[in-house]
Structure 1
Amino acid sequence: MADDFITSFAAVEHRAYTARFHQDLVQAVERLKGRKVSAAMCPGGPGGKNRPRVAEARVFVALCSQAYYADEGCGADWAVFEHRLDLEPPQFRPSDPPARVLVRWRWQPASPPSGLPLAPVLSGEITDSYACKGLYGIIREEGGVRSQAYRDAVDRIAAAVCHGGEHSPPEVSVGELPELAVPFPPRASGEQAGDLDQPPAPQADVPQPRKAADDADRPRVFVSYAHEEDEDVHKKRVADLGERLRDHGIGVRLDTFAHREGPQNWPWWMREQYNKADCVLVIVSPAYKRRAEHEEVPGKGNGVGFEANYLMREVHRNRDTWHERILLVSFPEHGSAYIPDYLVGPTLYTVDPETGEGDLPELVDYIKSKAP
């Protein structure tokens, strides 16, 4: 089954931010279409791993930047979709095909290589935030994914995707694709994609770890999460996040850490950690939502169900302030769709636990503000 759209982006891009944009775009398109959609993220880089999806996707969404135009993999993806556009009879071929949606991504958008189109200004105002900075600039400088500028841009892009889906070019078989010229010029010798259009490193704002002389146990967080059925992949990513928080001087209470200390009376342990924590981190995921809402099969995921009772009690008792202690965290592959219903509303911190990209600086800052 062909994807409704794919998101094509440079391999060097900030993966957590591109994943969050893709997720938000999926949700916006679903709202407009009134149905679930199929979509995929297609990073550039070496190899032709994206070709099968590009050959069939109804809409091609490109996150344009200097890094994008310097990525040979992005150029190869562009060439495949361009080939499909060229299969349209000339009399029906628009000069600006709606099925190719160009997004201004990084800062002031780069001029594309000669002959390629420029990502349009969405509002018509060449001085607005999106026109001048791109979505990445809005995320980094103007309130992030919760800002009105970001939401407006995503909604307009979603409308373009829906319109583009009505004008999808013919699908092709990967085996039938001819040898295609990459439309982006190769980088100069020694030039790295990561040097192009490079914003300040996201990690620059992360608070430095506290000194050993400081109280190593405060602020203290308890991590509530579900063991997904994925051969412990999610469990390891949660542990990676815990280690990152520890590296920044935060006392982390996590079951995988407690296992190292020997046998535990787990209900008692969960109750004690929950009550003593300055903040409770809820790691949202498919299994967490099912179990927190007591929709899991009986006898499975009892730990999350136990913790959910404490969460619901706190939400009920502290209706105006519970979100100051219960913090929602998502990995890029999940997102707001997996927040338990009774926790919907507050800030969702998106963090890639392996790289530290995303909202880790803001999360660390806030948790440290809770230290006594």
Structure 2
Amino acid sequence: MSRVFISYAQEDGHNEVVQGFWEFLRNNGIDARLDQVAAGERQDWALWMGEQVRDADVVLCVASERYRMRSEGRTGPDEGKGAQWEARLIRDTFHANQHDLQRFVPVVLPGQTTAGIPDFLAPSTTTYYVVEDFTVEGAEALLRFLLKKPKVLDIPLGRQPDL
């Protein structure tokens, strides 16, 4: 089973949506990790984030204007330090293997738009997933990706005819 880490920017109202997304993923058999759970204990957050990014098979980067601004270094150094640090780890890992598009995946949750996807995730030239709502139907494409259950399977080539 794949381990999934959810990366996002903390914002009033958005935190609850992200928690609902995490609950939805876990309820559908996806081993998703979220900082809100780890916040129940004292943490060295820099180490915790590094471990999550390093150990995750897939990092879901949740789009929002604040996530984009913080991950692109367009906010002050004291605003959203966690998101800035986490994005730095993601950018560095992604830069080391830019062809690994399956590992760093932009996700747009209800109430957000693709404008919240950071530039380094190439939102205009690569796949991103829009979650309409927290139902199987509303998140089918993302669930298929995470569960490795594509809608259309490749079929084996048949024999070439004797001509």
TM over 0.5: yes
Contact 1:240 1:353 in 2 (8 A): no
- The 2-side partners of 1:365 and 1:355 are apart by 13
Q: Does 1:244 align with 2:24?
A: yes
Match of 2:2 in 1: 219
Q: CA deviation at 1:303?
A: 0.9
CA contact (8 A) 2:61 2:107 kept: yes
Tell me the amino acid that sits aligned with residue 319 of structure 1.
Q
Taking the aligned partners of 1:320 and 1:226, their CA distance within structure 2 comes to: 25
Residue aligning to 2:64: 285
Measured in 1, the distance between the counterparts of 2:134 and 2:27 equals 13
Instruction: Find out whether 1:342 has 2:125 as its counterpart.
Output: no
* TM-score, normalisation: structure 2: 0.82
Structure 2: which 5+ runs fail to align? 150-163
> Equivalents in 2 of 1:291, 1:338: separation in Å?
11
Report which structure shows greater RCO (CA 8 Å, sep ≥6).
2
CA RMSD of aligned residues (A): 1.8
Distance 2:108 2:102 in 1: 17
> Could you say which residue in structure 2 is the equivalent of 1:141?
none
Alignment of 1:196-345 (within 5 A): 218-228=1-11, 232-260=12-40, 262-321=41-100, 323-344=101-122, 345=125
In structure 2, the CA distance between the partners of 1:248 and 1:317, relative to structure 1 (3 Å rule), is same
* 1:64-83 equivalence runs, <5 A: none
TM-score, L = length of structure 1 = 0.38
Measure, in 2, the Cα distance between the counterparts of 1:244 and 1:353.
Answer: 10
Q: Deviations over 1:151-201 (max 9, x none)?
A: xxxxxxxxxxxxxxxxxxxxxxxxxxxxxxxxxxxxxxxxxxxxxxxxxxx
C-alpha distance in structure 1 between counterparts of 2:74 and 2:50, whole Å: 22
Does the 8 Å contact 2:5/2:58 carry over to 1? yes
Distance across 1 between alignment mates of 2:14 and 2:137: 17
Q: How many pairs were matched up? A: 147
Q: Over residues 53-93 of structure 1, what are the superposed CA-to-partner deviations in whole Å (9 max), with x where a residue is unaligned? A: xxxxxxxxxxxxxxxxxxxxxxxxxxxxxxxxxxxxxxxxx
Larger radius of gyration: 1
Q: CA deviation at 1:334?
A: 2.0
Contact 1:224 1:283 (8 Å CA) reproduced: yes
Counterpart of 1:39 in structure 2 is: none
The CA deviation at 1:248 is 1.2
Quickly say closer, same or farther: Cα 1:284–1:351, change in 2 above 3 A.
same
> Matches of 2:133 and 2:80 in 1, distance apart?
23
- Residue aligned with 2:36, SS: helix
Cα 1:269–1:353, aligned 2, differ >3 Å: closer, same or farther? farther
Question: How many angstroms apart in 1 are the aligned matches of 2:54 and 2:148?
Answer: 18
Secondary structure class of the residue paired with 1:324? coil
Secondary structure, aligned partner of 2:126: coil
| Distance of aligned partners of 1:311 and 1:285 in 2 relative to their CA distance in 1, 3 Å threshold | same
Distance 1:285 1:356 in 2: 22
- CA offset at residue 363 of structure 1? 1.1
Alpha-carbon contact 2:8-2:63 (below 8 Å) kept: yes
Q: Counterparts of 2:47 and 2:98 in 1: how far apart (Å)?
A: 26
Residue 353 to residue 271, structure 1, CA distance change in 2 (3 Å): farther
Letter aligned with residue 335 of structure 1 = T
Q: Which runs of 5+ in 1 are unaligned?
A: 1-217
CA deviations over 1:194-225 (Å, ceiling 9, x no partner): xxxxxxxxxxxxxxxxxxxxxxxx31101100
Partner Cα distance (2:48, 2:90) in 1: 16
Q: Distance in 2 between matches of 1:249 and 1:300?
A: 34
Contact 1:223 1:282 in 2 (8 A): yes
